[in-house]
Amino acid sequence: MQKLKPDLIEYISILKKDVKINNYDIISKLDNKIKLNRNTKKNVWIEAYGCSANIADSEIIAGTLNSHGYNIVHCIDESDLNIIVTCSVKDSTEHKMLHRIKQLTVDNKPLLVAGCLTKTERKKIEKINPNVSLLGPNSLDRSVEAVNLTFSNNKIVFLDDSSEEKVNLPRLRVNKSISIVEIASGCLSNCSFCQTKLSKGNLKSYRPGSIISQIKNDVKDGCNEIWLTSTDNGCYGKDINSNLVELLKLCTQLEGDYKIRVGMLNPMYLSEILYDLILVYKNEEKIFKFLHIPVQSGSNKILKQMYRGHDIKIFKKAVYEFRKSIPEITIATDVIVGFPNETDEDFKLTLDLIKEYEPDIINISKYSQRSGTVSSRLKNIPSDQKKLRSTILHSISREISKKRNTLWIGWIGEVYIDEITNTLVQGRNYAYKSVIINNADTLNLSIGQIIKVKVVDSSQYSLFAEFLEFK
């Protein structure tokens, strides 16, 4: 599979008659007429945007299609049909998605649009291409039907949520060393700015046994990074009488040399399992010492208007307690600047919070109105204010990240190689820090290898290390 950035992957879809099909009998009859000739495989190109869950969805679509006789190609020029797995988290992302759909429409090949945008901005998609086929983020079990029917010059719309779990399904991984495991769909929050809830709905936690089964198989298949992802890992299990801590205890008991990366946790639900989670993080070597806890704002007034369900004290306590127990832990957070009604004082509170608690990674977004959300009805603040605040916070973020990475100079330890390009070899240490291998050109390294290194320098984004020995 073609080498792609974590936020961009590639896949399949486009167009024809405006026929919406949901009746199983009709589908079965049509499907029988358009069975693939196994001797002449159809070529499919897939590209995915956005979060790790979208990447996982694209891998599942690719694996499912491949298992049904389709050929997933590495070059779009070779495709007979294109698929795009979309993201709608920000307006800038939406514009990028719509522009890409226009480009794929001009290619004049059958097009299937999947992912979040199909449910949040269907009209905009169909305005660009009235004949495009649509596949919702929780309708992946109908991927083959969708592609079969699209190839037969039918427009299909599969947006209903499936009851099928997104685990133990066929998949073609983008990175052979990384297993992206979706542990749930949807969430329990109702953030006033977020479209994701509109796309993925309420929380549906997947069964621990199914998750463990997939991890076990992926480790046997050579994966040594296991990413546990969902809309909000913090609320995992609340609908099935379980929780994230219990799941992690099970995930770490399997044989093999691997580490688990825990995805985003909402502070509201993290607080309920905080001390148990710290304990399992500290005691289990197979968990990356990495915590993504999005605060979004340093102002309680703004958090309340965001419907976040937490206040600043909860975020402060979580960061303080984790760093007290695991000083070297990598803390990531998200901040939205320029939310409606955010004053200079509100923004100052955010700056003060960031300066005091120094997250290693700060993902900064300028607020953008998303259709269908509560906050879209609020008055926007001037764009120049948003831009200025974003610039200020980015500057502070760079300083903090550089400072935090400097602390690792002189460290000696193991690194998991997970990215190799023409210009660099990157690995991850136990705190999920990006480690660039300086003398990699003299070595014959491959993705998935574990090596011992010494960190000799750092930047805002990465540590730089010299190779010491193979594990």
Q: Over 330-345, what HEC string results?
A: EEEEEEEECCCCCCHH
d(CA 458, CA 261): 22
Q: Are 428 and 185 in contact (CB under 8 A)?
A: no
Chain centroid to Cα 44, Å, comes to: 23
d(CA 117, CA 86): 6
Q: Indicate whether 237 and 377 sit together in one domain.
A: yes
Q: Indicate whether 238 and 369 sit together in one domain.
A: yes
- Structure confidence at residue 442 (pLDDT): 84
Q: Are 291 and 265 in contact (CB under 8 A)?
A: yes
433 is in which domain, residue-wise? 412-470
Looking at 119, 151, 183, the residue that finishes a domain is 151
How does pLDDT run across 57-112, given as a tens digit for each residue?
999 999 999 999 999 999 999 999 999 999 989 889 999 999 999 999 998 899 99
Torsion sign, CA atoms 147, 151, 152, 158:
positive
Q: Is residue 407 part of a domain?
A: no
State the DSSP code for 422.
Answer: S
Q: Is residue 163 part of a domain?
A: no
Checking phi first, is residue 204 left (phi over 0); if not, alpha (psi -120 to 50) or beta?
beta
How does pLDDT run across 415-464, given as a tens digit for each residue?
999 999 999 999 999 999 999 999 888 889 999 999 999 999 999 999 99
Phi, psi of 87, deg, nearest 5 = -130, 145
d(CA 147, CA 457): 49
Is the pLDDT at 53 greater than 60? The verdict is: yes
Amino acid type, 79: S
Q: Indicate whether 140 and 186 sit together in one domain.
A: no
Q: Indicate whether 226 and 91 sit together in one domain.
A: no
Q: Is residue 162 part of a domain?
A: no
How does pLDDT run across 449-459, given as a tens digit for each residue?
999 999 999 99
Q: Indicate whether 307 and 185 sit together in one domain.
A: yes
- Pair type for strands 412-420 and 450-458: antiparallel
- Structure confidence at residue 143 (pLDDT): 96
How does pLDDT run across 298-349, given as a tens digit for each residue?
999 999 999 999 999 999 999 999 999 999 999 999 999 999 999 999 999 9
- Pair type for strands 43-49 and 81-86: parallel
Q: Indicate whether 384 and 276 sit together in one domain.
A: yes
Is the pLDDT at 177 greater than 80? The verdict is: yes
Is the pLDDT at 16 greater than 90? The verdict is: no
H or E element in which residue 225 lies: strand 225-229
d(CA 73, CA 92): 28
Q: Is residue 168 part of a domain?
A: no
Q: Is residue 395 part of a domain?
A: no
d(CA 140, CA 161): 9
pTM of the entire predicted model: 0.89
Q: Indicate whether 249 and 116 sit together in one domain.
A: no
Any idea what the CATH number is for the domain that residue 452 is in?
2.40.50.140
d(CA 115, CA 172): 17
CA of 298: how far to CAs of 347, 355, 385, in Å? Answer: 7, 11, 17
Q: Are 243 and 273 in contact (CB under 8 A)?
A: yes
Q: Is residue 397 part of a domain?
A: no
Is the pLDDT at 7 greater than 90? The verdict is: no
Place of tokens 């961009």: 8
Share of the chain above pLDDT 90, in %: 87
Among residues 276, 279, 314, 307, which one has the least CA distance to residue 293? Answer: 314
Chain centroid to Cα 113, Å, comes to: 18
d(CA 231, CA 268): 14
The domain tally of the chain equals 3
Any idea what the CATH number is for the domain that residue 27 is in?
3.40.50.12160
Chain centroid to Cα 268, Å, comes to: 20
Mean pLDDT of the chain: 91
N-term to C-term CA, the chain: 27
Question: Residue 12 — pLDDT band, cuts 50, 70, 90?
Answer: very low
Q: Indicate whether 383 and 418 sit together in one domain.
A: no
The DSSP annotation for 98-109 comes to: HHHHHHHHHTTS
Angle at 202 between CA 295 and CA 362, to 5 degrees: 20
Which residue did the predictor score with more confidence, 13 or 46?
46
**Residues whose CB falls within 8 Å of the CB of residue 55, separated by 6 or more in sequence, listed in order:** 6, 9, 48, 174, 180
Q: Indicate whether 244 and 129 sit together in one domain.
A: no
Is the pLDDT at 56 greater than 70? The verdict is: yes
Question: Residue 5 — pLDDT band, cuts 50, 70, 90?
Answer: very low
Q: Is residue 167 part of a domain?
A: no
- Structure confidence at residue 9 (pLDDT): 33
Q: Indicate whether 231 and 266 sit together in one domain.
A: yes
Amino acid type, 287: I
The DSSP annotation for 261-292 comes to: EE----HHHHHHHHHHHHHHHHH-TTB-SEEE
- Structure confidence at residue 439 (pLDDT): 86
Amino acid type, 200: K
How does pLDDT run across 87-96, given as a tens digit for each residue?
989 889 999 9
Q: Is residue 404 part of a domain?
A: no
- CA atoms within a 13 Å half-sphere pointing along the CA-CB vector of 368: 15
Q: Indicate whether 380 and 245 sit together in one domain.
A: yes
Place of tokens 């006789």: 69
Sheet holding 290-292, edge to edge: 290-292, 330-337, 361-366
User: How many Cβ atoms from other residues are within 10 Å of residue 225's Cβ?
Assistant: 20
Q: Are 426 and 451 in contact (CB under 8 A)?
A: no
Is the pLDDT at 17 greater than 90? The verdict is: no
Place of tokens 């070779």: 78
- Structure confidence at residue 441 (pLDDT): 85
Segment among 13-27, 182-196, 298-312, 394-408 with least mean pLDDT: 13-27
How does pLDDT run across 125-153, given as a tens digit for each residue?
999 999 999 999 999 999 999 999 999 98
Q: Indicate whether 433 and 466 sit together in one domain.
A: yes
Which residue did the predictor score with more confidence, 35 or 423?
423
**Residues whose CB falls within 8 Å of the CB of residue 20, separated by 6 or more in sequence, listed in order:** 155, 156, 157
d(CA 84, CA 6): 15
